[in-house]
Amino acid sequence: MYETPITGLVLTGGGARAAYQVGVLKALARLRQDTGADRRRNPFAVICGTSAGAINSAALACRADNFDQAVATLCEVWQDFRAEQVYRADSLGVIRSGAQWLTMLSIGFVLARWRRARPRSMLDNSPLAGLLQHAVPLERLPQLLASRELQALAITASSYSSGEHVTFYDSAASIAPWTRSQRKAVPTRITGDHLLASSAIPFVFPATELARGEGVEWFGDGSMRQTAPISPAIHLGAQRVVVIGAGRMHEPPGRTVANTGYPSLAQIAGHALSGIFLDALSVDIERMERINRTLALLPEQARLDTPLRAVQALVIAPSQRLDDIAARHLTELPRPVRTLLRGVGVGGTGQDARGAALASYLLFESAYTRELMALGEADTLARRDEVLSFFAWPKAAAGHPVPV
């Protein structure tokens, strides 16, 4: 069974940046163990994920009967990651996808006259399907929902066909689908294709075809057009939420940026991806906090008369810029991928790095993912008292002091 009150977990997108989420989860599992909280109960009854966060979410949901083991499995995958587990990083694979893609961008109007070459993305993510079969045993999900080890799992994707933002969900009890402006919810059995679709970074990975109603549509990364990342968890019954971001919520004051000339395609692409993956979460958190403050000002009867409810939230986001961390690891990308990215302006290392923001989403290499995991763990342990208070876990079990 899961803990009460019903806690939702919201994991956002960000490609390789999602390693940070695993570090946070590792710290949460460690704190729960050290405090002597009931480890038989799943701390998250409702789990919602988008993009790479969808994969982490599904991996947790499919092992909801053993949260510690679920986190340990995620740690094993992310701490030994290699790019070739996610996308074709060999010379032939990069030539077939990325080189053709760049060529179509530059002289595609010429090629279109005599050739039917239509590369679908910069990189071929076919290896990811094999990784998902190993790391995410979705066949376990129906039984875990039936036994009430989990209340709901939601995976979000964006339809290139209709332009709508769609949340696919599977739940223990019947939950009516909801509809908002450009946002719809669809009850369904979650499959590996839903995870591939949700994590298909625009332009970088190919779209995935999914059934919807009586037809099929092409879907890409769920972070696109995601105006309310926390909303699915609330609709699925969460009374409080833990939100783990993949980027800083706010830049430190006084930060200066050197003018290095006209931005490269990589800089523009990195900026666009940051807007897709990071901005919506910040806005939604501000909206939730504003509603909570407004409700607190209302008389009790007025609060009972409104459909709005205050939602307690624990938001954990990186204390450091992940772009800067990525800049230290650019040379760890496979050589064919580095060559491809150099064509759009990624290069250099450290303070001289260019296009690190774009690379930060593609750096599925262990040195980078381990550093992000360590940061997530440290950021969470630094907020130990706040975490324990949120979950109402004891400060420490007798004879088992909590490390600081």
Contacts of 158 (CB under 8 A, 6+ apart): 164, 165, 166, 219, 220, 221, 222, 223, 224, 225, 226
Rounded to an integer, the average pLDDT of 196-224 is: 92
CA atoms within 13 Å, Cβ hemisphere of 209: 3
Highest mean pLDDT among 129-133, 296-300, 349-353: 129-133
Residue 46 DSSP one-character state: E
Mean pLDDT for all residues in the chain:
87
- Does the pLDDT value for residue 104 go beyond 70? no
CA atoms within 13 Å, Cβ hemisphere of 230: 24
pTM value is: 0.89
What is the C-alpha separation between 221 and 165, in angstroms, rounded? 10
β pairing state of 179-180 and 183-187: antiparallel
Contacts of 39 (CB under 8 A, 6+ apart): 32, 33, 67, 68
**What pLDDT score does 296 carry?**
87
> Between vectors from CA 158 to CA 157 and to CA 162, what angle results, nearest 5°?
135
Distances (CA, A) of 252 to 248, 255, 256, 319: 9, 6, 10, 10
Structure tokens of 19?
């390693």
Question: Cβ distance 224 to 276 under 8 Å?
Answer: yes
Q: What is the pLDDT of residues 250-300, one digit of tens each?
A: 555 556 666 667 888 888 888 888 777 777 788 888 888 888 888 888 888
Residue 354 DSSP one-character state: B
* Peptide bond just before 142 cis, omega within 30 deg: no
- Does the pLDDT value for residue 249 go beyond 50? yes
Between these two residues, 220 and 103, which has the higher pLDDT value?
Answer: 220
What is the C-alpha separation between 378 and 361, in angstroms, rounded? 21
How close are the terminal C-alpha atoms of the chain, in Å?
30
Q: What is the pLDDT of residues 3-54, one digit of tens each?
A: 889 999 999 888 999 999 999 999 999 999 998 877 778 899 999 999 999 9
Using pLDDT thresholds of 50, 70 and 90, give the confidence band for residue 101: low
Helix intervals (H) in 80-223: 91-94, 100-111, 126-135, 141-146, 192-198
How many helices and strands in the chain, by DSSP H and E?
Answer: 17, 10
